[in-house]
Copies of this chain bind each other. A is one copy, B any other.
């Protein structure tokens, strides 16, 4: 395979960053190609040299976001063996990532597959890849009787992903503290407490 040439002054990355920021703050439909062009210092038509359409652009952002978060979670939990500590570290990292790091993964939470007709399958697959990380984090936990791991995962994801909408950088808690607090809410009851419920 031949490597695709790329010039030193390529602004593709700059373009992708601008698109990520706008999509995350204004939504997919709420962001125009002119917005993106202006934010990345180009003319609207120039974007089409890099991406075939607005849809392809948002898919690229989505893809980059998943890659970022998967890599981030991976390196944050690497080396930690205890499942409880893994979850704690993972949640802290994720809240940190969502609230601070990058607009990329905010796109994942804000842009729904149905928003991009014809690309639903790709986006759903990418999202599944992202959610699989949490499946792994939870799988190792010594769950108490009657605790549904799927429901637990969805609950955690829901709680964590909404933080981007209320998190206040000027507030008292840091993202890591929030993530740890979430973990503290959950870990104790789930792992150690025994319930008498026996419904399937």
A160-200: which residues lie under 8 A (CB-CB) from chain B?
Answer: 160-163, 165-166, 173, 178, 181-182, 184-186, 188-190, 193, 195, 197
Closest residue of B by beta carbon distance from A171? B150
Least CB distance from A73 to B in Å reads: 19
Q: Can you tell how many copies of this chain the complex includes?
A: 2
Given contacts A148-B181, A189-B185, are A162 and B162 in contact (CB under 8 A)?
yes
- A189 in complex: contacting residue of B154, B178, B189, CB < 8 Å: B189
- A158 in complex: contacting residue of B27, B161, B189, B197, CB < 8 Å: B161
A29 to B30, CA, bound (A): 6
Chain A residues in the interface with B (C-beta under 8 A): 25-30, 112, 114-115, 147-148, 151-152, 154-163, 165-166, 173, 178, 181-182, 184-186, 188-190, 193, 195, 197
For the complex of A and B, 7 pairs with smallest distance between CB atoms: A158-B162, A29-B29, A189-B189, A158-B159, A155-B159, A159-B159, A29-B30
